Amino acid sequence: MARVEDFLAHQVQTRLDALAFADSIGTRWSYADLDRASDALAAVLKDAGVRANDRVLMLSENCASAIAVLFASWKLDAVAIPVNARQTGGEIERIVNHATPAVVLMTTAVSSDATAHAERMGAAEITGDFGTMHMAVRASNPDTDLSDVAVLLYTTGTTGDPKGVMLTHENMRFGGIASANLRKMTPEDVIYGVLPLTHVFGLVSVVTAVCYAGATVRQEARFSAAKLYDAVMEDVTVLPAVPQMHALVMQYTKEQGLAKLNSPCLRYVSSGGAPLDPAWKRKAEAFYGLPLQNGYGMTETTSGASATQNPLGSPDISCGPKTPGTEVRIDDQAPGGNGAGEGEVLVRGPHVMRGYYRNPAETSKALDEDGWLHTGDLGKIDEKGHLHILGRSKELIIHGGFNVYPPEVEAAINDHPQVIQSAVIGRAKSGDEEVLAFVQIAEGDTLEAEDLRAFVKERLAGYKRPSQIIIATELPAAPTGKLLKHKLLDAFADRLG
């Protein structure tokens, strides 16, 4: 069966010395360099006891060494688990305890957060053609249920517990090829790689697509508007990003006294992770001088399930037609549906996950016997066959391109001894979504928002922390006591910035 590492083998055979990855600490690897680096790391992992169907967990930020971890894992028939190093120790331990990896690797050369986790775990430094990293060895525990699974990408379930999405090699190959074809990527392209490869957008739509096309990635560990501006003025041809990144580079360019980008090389720009606003889309297209493409996908669909290919100036703000080779339909009889074409988005095809690792109950809720993924998102399909997303019934918040799950944030807030209960929602703001927290305390109690902010800082990664915290003695609730999240914005409109 074809595997993701076959893409690398093909590039080594045909484009041995072509530049593959250039990262923010000066590493420049050809495809041959990546092959050697992943071979060297695979040998280290094998000596550490990693076997087929083991898990290799990586705490990372974008860098060439992180790519070596992926391919080294696959060459051993192990499963890679890329995890954002910016998460807290508690968040990471929940994932580690669930996944039971054979080893934990940290990309310490590029990430101070990874270094802190390495110190906490007592990891040892390892060096080689793959660069410098740290590794903590645990017990090998092969699991044949993971046969042909390439990665586990962890999300958070409705109970706040981590859920490992099992994406197979077939899933990732299909998603990578679809992304490359959609963008008409060639070996001459340079893709800007600031989207974290610990999330499906950066992992599949960037890394896997590039390895299939034989193109180059300019990697950045963390977003900087100045660095993005320099890159698209120098050699970047393809820019996948989230709305917040586009907004910040537009503001940066304006501060340089320029109204438009006028890049000599940029040819393709896409925005993902949040709905498009018509006015903002027009503004962005005027800035880039290029059409701004949009799409819809989720971790469980290996990134894109639909995408636009619009000309410049198109008023279309849909998520486009379905990805070729897949199916999308609307169940308007599902909860939230109107019985007239609006309802839950269902997706089926070779990009749909195998299921949730060690969680058959959640898997059976998400995947029906006919192979349809019940996304929990509400949408409609217009007369052109284009998908429109109307809302997220699962209440997922996408902030700065990162998934934020309200139950996880609420659980952290509720740990405070003065908090009775809390409700977390997202609100659209400047092409992004901000995280808002509404917190109930007892009559007569006093709790300052800044004190609660400091409390959750130790429990949540930065992108999950609420931008605003509203503290009250009463929150909108049904007679049953269930919080009515849809009434929060109106109830506290006078206190929201």
Q: What is the pLDDT of residues 126-157, one digit of tens each?
A: 999 999 999 999 999 999 999 999 999 998 65
Q: Would you say residue 309 lies in a domain?
A: yes
Q: Tell me the CB-side half-sphere exposure of residue 309, using CA atoms within 13 A.
A: 11
160 in the same domain as 233: no
Q: What is the pLDDT of residues 229-246, one digit of tens each?
A: 999 999 999 999 987 788
17 in the same domain as 140: yes
pTM: 0.85
The DSSP bridge pattern shows strands 216-219 and 190-193 to be parallel
> Which residues on adjacent β-strands are paired with residue 464?
none
Taken in order 254, 256, 262, 267, the sign of the CA dihedral is negative
227 in the same domain as 119: no
What's the CATH code of the domain at 52?
3.40.50.980
129 in the same domain as 12: yes
Q: How far apart are alpha carbons 34 and 72 in whole angstroms?
A: 10
CB atoms within 10 A of CB 432: 22
246 in the same domain as 159: no
Q: What is the pLDDT of residues 316-344, one digit of tens each?
A: 989 999 999 999 999 999 877 788 998 89
Q: What is the pLDDT of residues 156-213, one digit of tens each?
A: 654 567 899 999 999 999 999 999 999 999 999 999 999 999 999 999 999 999 999 9
Q: Tell me the CB-side half-sphere exposure of residue 31, using CA atoms within 13 A.
A: 23
Which pLDDT score, from 0 to 100, does residue 367 have?
98
Q: Would you say residue 388 lies in a domain?
A: yes
Segments forming the whole domain that contains residue 163: 5-172
Q: Which amino acid is located at 151 in the chain?
A: V
Compute φ and ψ for 381, nearest 5 degrees.
-115, 125
Taken in order 445, 450, 455, 460, the sign of the CA dihedral is positive
Q: How far apart are alpha carbons 333 and 335 in whole angstroms?
A: 7
361 in the same domain as 229: yes
Q: How would residue 275 be classed by pLDDT, with cut points 50, 70 and 90?
A: low
472 in the same domain as 444: yes
Q: E strands of 141-272, at which residues? A: 149-156, 162-168, 190-193, 216-219, 238-241, 268-271
Q: How far apart are alpha carbons 2 and 350 in whole angstroms?
A: 13
* Arithmetic mean of pLDDT over the chain: 92
Q: What is the pLDDT of residues 401-460, one digit of tens each?
A: 887 878 788 888 988 989 888 899 999 888 889 999 999 998 888 999 999 999 999 899
Q: Which amino acid is located at 323 in the chain?
A: T
What's the CATH code of the domain at 418?
3.30.300.30
169 sits in which H/E element: helix 169-182
Q: How would residue 482 be classed by pLDDT, with cut points 50, 70 and 90?
A: low
Q: Would you say residue 203 lies in a domain?
A: no
376 in the same domain as 239: yes
121 in the same domain as 70: yes
Which pLDDT score, from 0 to 100, does residue 251 have?
85
Q: Are 202 and 217 in contact (CB under 8 A)?
A: no
Q: Tell me the CB-side half-sphere exposure of residue 225, using CA atoms within 13 A.
A: 15
Last residue of a domain, one of 172, 191, 211: 172
14 sits in which H/E element: helix 5-14
Q: How would residue 392 be classed by pLDDT, with cut points 50, 70 and 90?
A: low
What's the CATH code of the domain at 280?
3.40.50.12780
Total domains present in the chain: 3
Token pair for residue 489?
Answer: 């914005």
Last residue of a domain, one of 172, 187, 205: 172
Q: Which residues contact 359 (CB under 8 A, 6 or more apart)?
A: 157, 163, 164
84 sits in which H/E element: strand 79-84
Q: Would you say residue 177 lies in a domain?
A: no
50 in the same domain as 73: yes
401 in the same domain as 383: no
Q: Which residue has the higher pLDDT, 416 or 279?
A: 416
CA diameter of the chain: 72
Q: How would residue 277 be classed by pLDDT, with cut points 50, 70 and 90?
A: low
How much of the chain exceeds pLDDT 90, in percent?
75
Q: E strands of 357-411, at which residues? A: 373-381, 387-392, 397-399, 402-404
Q: How would residue 480 be classed by pLDDT, with cut points 50, 70 and 90?
A: very low
Last residue of a domain, one of 392, 417, 451: 392
Q: Would you say residue 181 lies in a domain?
A: no
Q: Which residue has the tokens 């790391």?
A: 41
Q: How far apart are alpha carbons 233 and 262 in whole angstroms?
A: 8
417 in the same domain as 316: no
Which pLDDT score, from 0 to 100, does residue 401 have?
83
